[in-house]
Amino acid sequence: MIQIRNITKTFGKVIALNNVSFDINDNQILALLGPNGAGKSTLMRIITGYLSQDSGEISIDGEIVSTEKISTKENIGYLPENNPLYEDMTVYEYLSFISELRNVPKERIKDVVELCKIKDVINRTISELSKGYRQRVGFAAAILHDPKILILDEPTAGLDPNQATEVRELIKEYKKDKTIILSTHILSEVEEVADYVVIIHKGIIVAQGTIEDLHRIVLKHNIIYFAGKFDKDLVSYLPSVIPGIYNIKLVAKDNEITEYEIETEADIDIRKDLFKMAVKENWEIVELHRVSVSLQEIFRELTSS
């Protein structure tokens, strides 16, 4: 369990993090989400012990994190933003350098190379590698000591879609019984891999929770999309027979099919009622589903101010 308590960090006059607190449970994939300059990297750098905070405290399983503590650094695997690597080293030299400093047996390199699929570039100089390979080398170095906490700062930034998918696969593969913190501004990535999301904006946490929680925070009502062949005008008819509807609008209409969007209170689900109604009235339904708001809209809503 990682506990982040009242972390504040300033760079000169710029406040990078302002009184940030939250917990990260074990075996969770937590995504830090926020626009560029929101403070994601700064927070990650403080957790890894690269930077020190002005005030507040971070503890990992009860032990306080500090820039000078060796134990902090032993527990964490870290892939910094832009994935800096020693360009003049070969992949093997780099991994064996990390393994020697981390006291990891050399056999482990073999496993990691296998897992990250970098076997065919193992003797190449890092500066010659493509961005996708570089990212996998960085990832391999971060998991070399099998850390229980893995921190990845924008692991898929700058990769093409195929490479990004490969990196996400690696993350998911590694997930078992590990705590992973990753920052990103790619929202589909969050929906794909994260269990828990913390949205930071201008150094302040604007929202946190599971993706469903976030939906609930932003959505004050449910929207049901309902389309079919109806013999009545539902805008006037439905509210009188099904309670809880407070708005209904006609989206489209052609010769046969009419499409409606029905808004209800957030805690009411009228989909069953609509189905029963259709059976009773003998309507032919072509579509009935709840409209989900994408994380993108949630994100925009929360960070636009």
User: Do 123 and 90 form a contact (C-beta atoms < 8 A)?
Assistant: yes
Q: Which of 21, 25, 27, 52 binds other proteins (CB under 8 A)?
A: 52
Strand duo 29-33 + 76-79: pairing: unpaired
Q: Which of 102, 108, 124, 215 binds other proteins (CB under 8 A)?
A: 102
Q: Which is nearer to other proteins, 89 or 235 (CB)?
A: 89
Residue span 150-189 as binding mask against other proteins, x where in contact by CB under 8 A, dash where not: ----------------------------------------
User: Do 290 and 223 form a contact (C-beta atoms < 8 A)?
Assistant: yes
Residues of this chain, 255-274, that bind other proteins according to CB under 8 A: none
Interface region with other proteins, contact rule CB under 8 A, candidates 17-25, 93-101, 200-208, 241-249:
93-101
Interface region with other proteins, contact rule CB under 8 A, candidates 99-107, 217-225, 268-276, 290-298:
99-107
Minimum CB–partner distance for residue 145 and other proteins (Å): 9
Residue whose tokens read 């972390």: 7
Minimum CB–partner distance for residue 93 and other proteins (Å): 7
| Chain centre to alpha carbon of residue 9 | 23
Q: Which of 87, 111, 120, 281 binds other proteins (CB under 8 A)?
A: 87
Q: Which of 3, 5, 51, 195 binds other proteins (CB under 8 A)?
A: 51
78 part of the interface to other proteins, by CB under 8 A: yes
Q: How many CA atoms lie within 13 A of 159 on its CB side?
A: 25
Question: Cα(36)–Cα(40) distance, rounded to whole angstroms?
Answer: 8
Interface region with other proteins, contact rule CB under 8 A, candidates 71-79, 158-166, 181-189, 265-273:
71-79
93 part of the interface to other proteins, by CB under 8 A: yes
Minimum CB–partner distance for residue 49 and other proteins (Å): 7
Binding-site residue total for other proteins (CB under 8 A)? 30
Interface region with other proteins, contact rule CB under 8 A, candidates 78-86, 169-177, 267-275, 289-297:
78-86
Q: Which is nearer to other proteins, 137 or 295 (CB)?
A: 137
Q: Which of 61, 74, 160, 173 binds other proteins (CB under 8 A)?
A: 74
Measured between its terminal Cα atoms, the distance across the chain in Å is 32
Residue whose tokens read 């560029």: 36
Give contact residues for other proteins (rule: CB under 8 A).
45, 48-52, 67-68, 70-71, 73-74, 76, 78, 80-82, 84-89, 93, 97-98, 100-102, 141
